[in-house]
Amino acid sequence: MANSTESKQTMDRQEFADYLRELADQFDGDSDANILVGNKRVNLSPTRKVETEVEVVERSSVLRGDKESIDLTAHWKRDK
């Protein structure tokens, strides 16, 4: 069974940086990570090794204008 919690929102750059810092602080150390997703807190149990992916996309379009995005993904298999 898979549970999914998702949130989309607009933040200014400072709010986004603060959110990333809070996320990093939650992953620092050996305890569980309590992550804010929208208006819900999700408790995660990351292992000592985390598989990560970073993807940056730069699009250029005459009609739609230029667009950039970054996707950060982290995976781990929970300890039993």
How far, in Å, are 16, 56, 62 from residue 11 at the CA level?
A: 6, 19, 26
Q: Delimit the domains of the chain by residue range.
A: 13-75
The DSSP element (H or E) to which 25 belongs, if any, is: helix 13-27
Question: Is-contact 53 73, C-beta < 8 A?
Answer: yes
Band (pLDDT 50/70/90 cuts) for residue 80 is: low
- Tracing tokens 């993904």 back to the chain, one arrives at 73
> At 56, which amino acid appears?
V
The predicted model scores a pTM of 0.82
What's the whole-number mean pLDDT along residues 5-10?
Answer: 94
Structure confidence by residue, pLDDT tens digits, 26-77: 999 889 999 999 999 999 999 999 999 999 999 988 777 899 999 999 999 9
